[in-house]
């Protein structure tokens, strides 16, 4: 049984005061949520203070990026050990914004994922096709290539611990969610590739969908057999909205 995992990706949002205000409003709202892993991926500048505020709760702390080297002359970069020091459990790697705006390639992402596993953290590895790729019917080819290359350094015995996020680029921040059925289709394809690559461990890897997930559509997405979670941008910035998202079962009952 794969435990649902919902991750807030705040991207480049929130000051320390805003982040602390979020946590203070969020934790009481999710006090009764059970059997869901909740993760906050926050800017580096608020990791420490958010981590302090989350102590004693079950909510996990995550970074939005990491550098693969353990240390050295890499101005402005952050190493795995630094994230571990602040209590991070996860880091997102290969987000489409990193790939497209900052030129990150699969090989670099693969090194990050391996460095995280080596340093006691777990990667949330993002894949997903652009609008042009979808329209050219290249979705499966692109996702296959990204998966193979980004996971090239993940050892089989650690595979079950990683998280994959499928985020079609055309659905990010656009309000244009993939239908539950079309997201499920790609997730099923990803599952097949993971089982091919990792055997039984591939069936244990949790797959998140990302791209305009909201309280109103989360239930239908989460009901799909191969959708184990969500990676949420815009709708994770407001504590009430993200609390409704992580209570997705209750959202289903109210629909
Ligand atoms: P939105 O939820 O704002 O579409 O962002 C999705 C995303 O990129 C999460 O990583």
Residue 203 DSSP symbol: G
pLDDT at 241 over 70: yes
- 60 to 26, 89, 119, 209: CA distances (angstroms): 13, 6, 17, 18
pLDDT (0 to 100) of residue 147 = 98
* Contact residues for 172 (Cβ-Cβ < 8 A; gap 6+): 96, 97, 128, 210, 211, 212, 233
Pocket test for ligand 1, best of 234, 236, 238, 242 (most atoms within 8 A of CB): 234
pLDDT band at 249 (very low <50, low <70, confident <90, very high): confident
Token pair listed for 49: 């203070």
Tell me the average pLDDT of the chain: 97
103 C-beta neighbours (distance < 10 Å), count: 8
φ/ψ of residue 241, rounded to 5: -65, -45
Pick from 153, 127, 131: nearest CA to 142: 127
Residue 41 beta carbon below 6 angstroms from any ligand 1 atom = no
Model-level pTM greater than 0.95? yes
Mean pLDDT of 36-48: 98
Residue 150 beta carbon below 6 angstroms from any ligand 1 atom = no
Ligand 1, atom 7, lies closest to the CA of: 233
Residue 169 beta carbon below 6 angstroms from any ligand 1 atom = no
- Rounded to the nearest angstrom, the distance between the alpha carbon of 73 and the centre of ligand 1 is 32
Residue 210 beta carbon below 6 angstroms from any ligand 1 atom = yes
Residue 9 beta carbon below 6 angstroms from any ligand 1 atom = yes
pLDDT at 254 over 70: no
The residue annotated as part of the active site, out of 37, 95, 97, 226, is 95
pLDDT at 98 over 90: yes
Residue 172 beta carbon below 6 angstroms from any ligand 1 atom = yes
- DSSP codes of every residue in 45-88: HHHHHHHHHHTTSSPEEEES--BSSSSSS-TT--BHHHHHHTT-
Say how far residue 216 (Cα) sits from the centre of its chain: 19
Mean pLDDT of 46-69: 98
What fold is seen in the domain 5-254? TIM Barrel (3.20.20)
pLDDT band at 255 (very low <50, low <70, confident <90, very high): low
* Contact residues for 197 (Cβ-Cβ < 8 A; gap 6+): 147, 148, 151, 159
Residue 234 beta carbon below 6 angstroms from any ligand 1 atom = yes
pLDDT band at 1 (very low <50, low <70, confident <90, very high): confident
pLDDT per residue as tens digits for the range 106-159: 999 999 999 999 999 999 999 999 999 999 999 999 999 999 999 999 999 999
Task: Report domain extents, the chain.
Answer: 5-254
Residue 95 annotated among the catalytic residues of the structure = yes
Distance between first and last Cα of the chain = 26
Mean pLDDT of 221-229: 97
The residue annotated as part of the active site, out of 97, 104, 133, 167, is 167
Ligand 1, atom 2, lies closest to the CA of: 233
Ligand 1, atom 1, lies closest to the CA of: 233
Tokens 């979808």 map to which residue?
Answer: 134
Contact 8, 40 (CB under 8 A): yes
- Rounded to the nearest angstrom, the distance between the alpha carbon of 102 and the centre of ligand 1 is 17
pLDDT per residue as tens digits for the range 209-218: 999 999 999 9
Across 44-53, 85-94, 120-129, 169-178, least confident range: 169-178
């Amino acid at each position: 049984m794969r435990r649902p995992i919902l991750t807030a990706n705040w991207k480049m949002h929130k000051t320390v005061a805003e982040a602390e205000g979020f946590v203070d409003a969020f934790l009481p709202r999710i006090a009764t949520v059970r059997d869901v892993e909740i993760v906050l991926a926050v800017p580096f500048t608020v990791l420490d203070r958010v981590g302090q505020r989350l102590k004693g709760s079950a909510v996990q702390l995550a970074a939005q990026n990491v550098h693969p080297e353990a240390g050295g002359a890499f101005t402005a970069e952050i190493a795995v050990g630094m994230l571990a020091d602040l209590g991070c459990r996860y880091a997102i790697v290969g987000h489409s914004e990193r790939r497209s705006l900052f030129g990150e390639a699969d090989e670099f992402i693969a090194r990050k994922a391996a460095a995280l596993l080596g340093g006691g953290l777990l990667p949330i590895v993002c894949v997903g096709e652009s609008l042009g790729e979808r329209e050219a019917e290249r979705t499966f080819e692109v996702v296959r290539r990204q998966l193979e290359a980004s996971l090239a350094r993940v050892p089989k015995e650690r595979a079950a611990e990683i998280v994959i996020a499928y985020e079609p680029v055309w659905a990010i921040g656009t309000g244009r969610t993939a239908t539950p059925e079309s997201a499920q289709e790609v997730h099923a394809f990803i599952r097949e590739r993971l089982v091919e690559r990792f055997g039984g461990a591939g069936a244990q890897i949790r797959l998140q969908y990302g791209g305009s997930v909201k309280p109103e559509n989360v239930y239908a997405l989460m009901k799909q057999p191969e959708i184990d979670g969500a990676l949420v941008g815009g709708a994770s910035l407001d504590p009430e909205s993200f609390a409704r998202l992580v209570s997705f079962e209750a959202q289903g009952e109210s629909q």
